[in-house]
Amino acid sequence: MSESALLLTLGGMAVVFMLFSALLLQAVGRQNRFHARVRLVQASAGLTTAEPPVTIAGHGFLRVVAMIGTAIARSGLLSTRTLLEFQQTLFSAGFRGPNGLGLFVGGKLLLLCLLPLVAFPLLQSMHLPVLLRNILILGSGALGLLAPDIIVRQMRDRYLRQLEKGLPDALDMLVICAEAGLNLEAAISRVATEIRFANRAAAEELAQTAGELRITSDTRAALLNLGKRTGLDSLKRLGAVLTQSIQYGTPLTRALRLLAAEMREEMLTRFEARAARLPVLLTVPMILFILPCVFMIVGGPALLQVLRAFHH
């Protein structure tokens, strides 16, 4: 690819992105003006809305990116399976908002267009060969396309680790609430409120489950969704235990105590396995940094004496 063709391609991508953004901004502006007129009519009639509609000024640039991504997701350019995978990854990472998928897809498109535009003048000032410069520019576009996936995966792993860490404490609190006479929905909602400052991930999952229990008549599906959203085995077991307790009338407190003890034992086992790996991981640093110092201290005086003997 020649330099002029590459520059023309990058310029075309930028023009398409800006045109698409302008069209969306125009549509959003019309929608905001419509909502403003509705609020004015309601105010003149003495009616008030519980929550004013969100305008584009409220979220700024991120809202525009989210709307662009939402439009792309609804356009059919991405398959349903791909969108479901994106949605599942975002859910398991803790992004439950309505604009999560749109922001993710829009961020991928934005980085795909902007990174090559930023890399082009920087690489051109380095006086690199044309082929290498073109490869690096195309690589920056690929990096922009893959960077949101890498970031979301890292956030997902961190969210799941925090969630798994707080589950035993949440189960202990569920036992206390169950013994106090609260039903399952009230107990889960209470634990979600109390544990929010200690473990936000566990509080969000329990609050989501409590909300599903309030709005659905299928209690079993709401409890099993607790494990399907994140894919954690511990949450799947918790949903199965709660479902069996409701279905067969088994004592809930004893099952929760056993499950909390199993989770803590598994956590301790993982810590022990990680500690057992430390001697193996320390072998290479010991060989590279510690053993040369030991050899210098032990063999240094003898080597100096040998060198003095040769000089004399």
Mean pLDDT for all residues in the chain: 75
Calpha distance 253→108 (Å, rounded): 46
> By C-alpha distance, which of 67, 47, 70 is closest to 58?
67
For the question of whether the overall pTM of this predicted structure is more than 0.85, the answer is: no
Asked if 107 and 67 count as a contact pair (C-beta separation under 8 A), the reply is no
In what helix (H) or strand (E) does residue 263 lie, and over which residues does it extend?
helix 252-276
Task: Count the Cβ atoms, other than its own, within 10 Å of residue 1.
Answer: 12
The C-alpha angle with vertex 190 and arms to 184 and 193, in degrees rounded to 5, equals 145
> By C-alpha distance, which of 179, 235, 177 is closest to 204?
235
> Is the pLDDT score of 71 beyond 80?
no
> Is the pLDDT score of 226 beyond 50?
yes
Q: Where are the beta strands (DSSP E) in 4-116?
A: none
Please report which confidence band the pLDDT of residue 54 belongs to, taking 50, 70 and 90 as the band edges: very low
Distances (CA, A) of 260 to 66, 186, 197, 202, 267: 40, 20, 20, 14, 11
The C-alpha angle with vertex 277 and arms to 272 and 282, in degrees rounded to 5, equals 135
Give residue 8's pLDDT: 54
Query: How many Cα atoms sit within 13 Å of 196 on the Cβ side?
Result: 9
Report the percentage of the chain scoring pLDDT > 70. 79
* CA dihedral over 262, 265, 271, 277, signed as positive or negative: negative
Tens of pLDDT, residue by residue over 289-299, are: 888 888 888 88
> By C-alpha distance, which of 149, 158, 146 is closest to 230?
158
> Is the pLDDT score of 200 beyond 50?
yes
Tell me which of 141 and 173 has the higher pLDDT. Answer: 173
> Is the pLDDT score of 58 beyond 60?
no
Tens of pLDDT, residue by residue over 228-268, are: 887 888 888 888 888 888 777 777 788 788 888 888 888 88
Distances (CA, A) of 93 to 58, 88, 190, 223, 259: 24, 9, 23, 19, 24
Give residue 302's pLDDT: 83
Tens of pLDDT, residue by residue over 170-190, are: 888 888 888 888 888 888 888
